[in-house]
Amino acid sequence: MRKQASVETTAEAYLELLAARGVEYLFANAGTDFAPVIEAYARRGAQGQARPRPITVPHEVVAVGMAHGYAMVTGRPQAVMVHVIVGTANALGGIMNAARSNVPMLFTAGRNPITEAGAVGSRDRPIHWAQESFDQAAMVREFVKWDYELRTLSDLETVVDRALAITQAEPQGPVYLTLPREVLAERREAFEYSDPARAPRPSAVAPDAGAVAEAARLLAAAQNPLVVTKALGRDPEAVPALLALAEILALPVFEQSHTHLNFPQDHPLHGGFDSAPVLGLADLILVAESDAPWYPHLKAPGTETKIVQVGVDPLFSRYPIRGFHADVALAGAPRLAFKALAEAASPLVDRGLVAERRQRWEREHGRQSEARAARARAVAADTPIDMAWLSRCVGDLTDERTILVNEYDFDASQAVFTRPGSYFAASPAGGLGWGLGAALGAKLAAPDKTVICCVGDGAYIFGAPTAAHFVSRASDIPVLFVIFNNRAWNAVKRAVQTHAPDGWAVRTGTMPLTELDPAPDYELVCRASGGHAERVEDPAQLPEALERARRVVHDEKRQALLNVICKKP
């Protein structure tokens, strides 16, 4: 159907189109390039016309994190707009995270006015000369699937629809669109477009039947198969599909450095979070959406071990190097691959072998659960607080209405996540500063859920906390933040210990460039934006402090923060 909208400028037509395409939010960090967009918002607001809800986000790392968080919960891309080259630069780490996590996002930036004079929107500020670069998109091109510059209104529908279609096509990832001020400011009276969109939206891809049959034969013949997965749960439907396959074959599933909930943690076939101890025993490994299923420098499966890889892009084509072998690689939607594998493998299984295997892994599952509980109990009274005890207490706070966003220190093995979409961890790209924004975006996407954001003190600082707490209050997005405060960058310390176990740093007990002491009173940062915040030092007080904070978030709809003082490494 063709639709007509009354507009004054291209910027207004752009907002009309984004709203029509289901983009609910524009996470924005504005500059002089935004003038026509702000004008368009004001007009549409005054006249009650559709537009994505504008959210002012005073740091780009939070803006991109919010779009990331929203999309990881809903699967739907939102729009981000930042200020020309400098805003793009500030957002870049977040774009890398989104790219490596296959998150769809319409990432946009204003573009310095092209003309020095003579057009509506021409240069009129001192920064309009220095803020132009030869190729603005060059900065992000390696980490986006597509980039383009809007040239005129007559292209608007094609450009926006193409951007939205490409970002959502698998493998998903952000796209980048630059919006010159003259183009946005062009005077218009009407804008006509198709509703719904008619851009091609490629369907999910199922792997080739021959390859499926070969993988099923290998799986059924294996004595000691196992599954390693990291990000399968990006597609919530892939989780029950893997579960069905695991049941048929009694496959233990290891979540290795997992970024999503991939398999219910309470299922007897959940194998734990580290496959390294059993890697050498496996005669088949099914690698499901895992970029680095093991670390060959430390430990690798035997050379005879069969490898089956399943993923939307089992080559991880955008990674310069990735040498993990595969005897069969099933490319396409993993949910379809597992369904097909289950059908093909079912008639081939040796029931006696499967029953014996299941018993063995069930026992191992029980042993691991008990060991983790014992570990938490053993450190429950330690002061400063042990991160295992903190993780346990946070885990105990979760229920079926919780989404947990983890940037680093929360230990998921101390909790029991069972539903797809209930747990998200930082991107394998590791651009710190993701967590606070991602949690805010997740809460926007799921207002009825309690969103708990666990961050290290380092990750908290990287997340532009003043901006994040501002957004939480200004846009009514209550999140419970928990800082795992060890007053250090322990990840960096650990790297030194692994790199030079007998070296100078370890022997002398000095590690320059890794300390975050003296630590700020982080609780004051949250209070400055009207949040409830406490510093917690007593491990016995932790459960109550968490419950108080949860109630503030849930009942008062206000953000809360616990600054939990943990053992210093």
Chain positions contacting ligand TPP, by CB under 6 A: 93, 408-409, 430-432, 456-459, 462, 486, 488-492
E strand spans, 96-201: 105-111, 147-149, 174-180, 190-194
Asked whether 435 and 62 are in contact (CB, 8 A), the reply is no
| Shortest CB 456 distance to ligand TPP, Å | 2
- The three-state secondary structure class of 473 is helix
| Shortest CB 486 distance to ligand TPP, Å | 5
| Shortest CB 316 distance to ligand TPP, Å | 19
The candidate with the shortest Cα–Cα distance to 205, out of 100, 312, 289, is 312
Q: Cβ closer to ligand TPP: 32 or 259?
A: 259
The encoded tokens of residue 548 equal 């108080």
**Cα–Cα distance, 106 to 144 (Å, whole number):** 10
| Shortest CB 566 distance to ligand TPP, Å | 9
> What is the widest separation between alpha-carbon atoms in the chain?
82
β-pair type (328-331, 270-272) = unpaired
| Shortest CB 487 distance to ligand TPP, Å | 8
Q: Cβ closer to ligand TPP: 176 or 489?
A: 489
Burial classification of residue 473, based on how many CB atoms lie within 10 Å of its CB (0-12 exposed, 13-18 middle, 19 or more buried): middle
Q: Cβ closer to ligand TPP: 238 or 459?
A: 459
β-pair type (2-6, 190-194) = antiparallel
The encoded tokens of residue 377 equal 């109990």
**Cα–Cα distance, 487 to 520 (Å, whole number):** 9
Q: Cβ closer to ligand TPP: 230 or 493?
A: 493
| Shortest CB 463 distance to ligand TPP, Å | 9
Q: Cβ closer to ligand TPP: 97 or 262?
A: 97
Identity of the amino acid at 492: V
Q: Cβ closer to ligand TPP: 68 or 339?
A: 68
* DSSP secondary structure code for residue 171 in this structure: S
The encoded tokens of residue 97 equal 């995270």
Return the HEC string of 183-236: HHHCECCEEEEECCCCCCCCCCCCCCHHHHHHHHHHHHHCCCEEEEECCHHHCC
Q: Cβ closer to ligand TPP: 60 or 161?
A: 60
**Cα–Cα distance, 35 to 178 (Å, whole number):** 15
**Cα–Cα distance, 394 to 397 (Å, whole number):** 5
Q: Cβ closer to ligand TPP: 492 or 528?
A: 492
Q: Which residue is nearest to ligand TPP (CB)?
A: 456
β-strand partners of 14: none
Asked whether 51 and 45 are in contact (CB, 8 A), the reply is yes
| Shortest CB 435 distance to ligand TPP, Å | 9
Residue whose entry in the numeric block shows the structure tokens 């599954």 = 227
**What is the rounded (10 degree) CA torsion for 479, 484, 487, 490?**
-120
CA 154 to chain centre: 35
Q: Cβ closer to ligand TPP: 167 or 414?
A: 414
Q: Cβ closer to ligand TPP: 120 or 519?
A: 519
What would you report as the CA-atom Rg of the chain, rounded to the nearest whole angstrom? 25
